[in-house]
Amino acid sequence: MSLTDMGHEVLEAADGYEATVALQENDVDILLTDMQMPGLYGDEVIRWVKTNKPSIKTILMSGHPRIKQYAAECGADVYIEKGGLTSWSEKISKALEKIMRA
């Protein structure tokens, strides 16, 4: 199930630089970003958000378990580990619930 199927409006960016432009030009509530992207990595986009658009909540995802601690250090509000037995939609739903409770 996609975020759109879950009732969310979604903006997409091909790389980290495009993401920062989209974030500047649009009213965004939540950023969902992968750690490894062309241009700027996800942690760099999150740092940009925390400096320039601090009201945006951030979710960092990665396939590397060791990134979890680093996600908190770079300012991500929630970390999602890719893969595993939990479905994508369940992981996203839990992340969104956590952000809404914060």
The CATH number covering residue 95 comes to 3.40.50.2300
Say if 5 falls within a structural domain. Answer: no
pLDDT of residue 93: 84
Say if 9 falls within a structural domain. Answer: no
Which residues in 86-98 are b (16+ Cβ under 10 Å) and which e? eeeeebbeebbee
**Domain interval for residue 38:** 16-101
Instruction: Please list, in sequence order, all residues whose beta carbon lies within 8 angstroms of the beta carbon of residue 66, skipping any fewer than 6 positions away.
Output: none
Say if 97 falls within a structural domain. Answer: yes
pLDDT of residue 94: 86
pLDDT of residue 89: 78
Low-confidence ranges of the chain (pLDDT < 70): 1, 85
CB contact at 8 A, 65 and 43:
no
> What is the tally of structural domains in the chain?
1
Say if 64 falls within a structural domain. Answer: yes
Say if 87 falls within a structural domain. Answer: yes
Helices (H) and strands (E) in the chain, counts: 4, 3
Kindly report, residue by residue over 2-24, the tens digit of the pLDDT.
Answer: 778 878 888 999 999 999 999 99
Say if 4 falls within a structural domain. Answer: no
Strand partners, 53: none
